[in-house]
Amino acid sequence: MKKFLVLGVLFILPIVAYLFFSSGVNNFAKLPVLTKDVLDVSQFQTLKGDTVTLKNKITVLSVYGSDIDAKAGSAFNLNEKIYDKNYNFEDFQFVVIAEDGFQDQAKALLRELGTTIDVKKWNFVFGTTSQINQFYSSLGTNIKLNSNSATDYCFIIDKNMSLRGRPAEGDEPVRYGYNTASVADLTNAMTDDIKVILAEYRLALKKYNKNDALK
């Protein structure tokens, strides 16, 4: 009996521990709002000279400034860990803010990203350094842009153009963004938070459709 008990502990306990830690889902029913009234990106122009908007979209926002080539690794991490699993959600998009004059680098990066997946929801938009800094200030984060108006961190913006993230809790500081240079940060924290916000909107959509059907 003791032999079976020991074997059970040796085999079952690691599996239970793995399932517990691999779930890693945060404790929020809704991903908290950290900053309201983020500026729109309609002041920036896409590669085609058009505009995109944050309104009524769930946006993963990155700021590459003039560092597009240097952020290729971060872009690939995002593409694999976040975009690939969620791009089929109708109102989901990626927006990358870059400095005007670096369109060719953006096109090259998109071609590389597109070798494994449809990158139709990756939107590179371009503006001046001043425009980038003005927009970034509206996020209200404690994360600074580097000298090339870029950061390794990306951000989740909801349909109401509010920055979502995690407030300070215990020893954990406020989480405004996610380090795209860290696969672990994307796999754990960001994957969980994207799941939460998409589930929130799926539930809201189901309630709307149900109420609409009752009319």
* Nearest alpha-carbon partner for 118 in 141, 87, 157: 87
Q: What confidence tens digit (pLDDT) does each residue in 55-86 have? A: 999 999 999 999 999 999 999 999 999 999 99
pTM of the predicted model, to two decimals? 0.84
Contacts with 72 (C-beta within 8 Å, 6 or more apart), sequence order: 109, 112
CATH of the domain at 39: 3.40.30.10
Residues spanned by the domain of 178? 34-214
Domain count along the chain: 1
Q: Which residue has the higher pLDDT, 14 or 48?
A: 48
Identify the pLDDT of residue 206. 67
Identify the pLDDT of residue 11. 55
Residue 10 lies in a domain: no
Residue 115 lies in a domain: yes
Query: Helices H, strands E: what count in the chain?
Result: 7, 8
Residue 20 lies in a domain: no
Residue 13 lies in a domain: no
Residue 14 lies in a domain: no
Identify the pLDDT of residue 33. 97
Cβ atoms of 177 and 154 within 8 Å: the answer is yes
Residue 5 lies in a domain: no
Residue 3 lies in a domain: no
Residue 137 lies in a domain: yes
Cβ atoms of 63 and 132 within 8 Å: the answer is yes
Q: What confidence tens digit (pLDDT) does each residue in 129-168 have? A: 999 999 999 999 999 999 999 999 999 999 999 999 999 9
pLDDT band at 211 (very low <50, low <70, confident <90, very high): low
Identify the pLDDT of residue 20. 39
The DSSP element (H or E) to which 76 belongs, if any, is helix 72-78
Identify the pLDDT of residue 83. 97
pLDDT at 43 over 80: yes
pLDDT at 124 over 60: yes
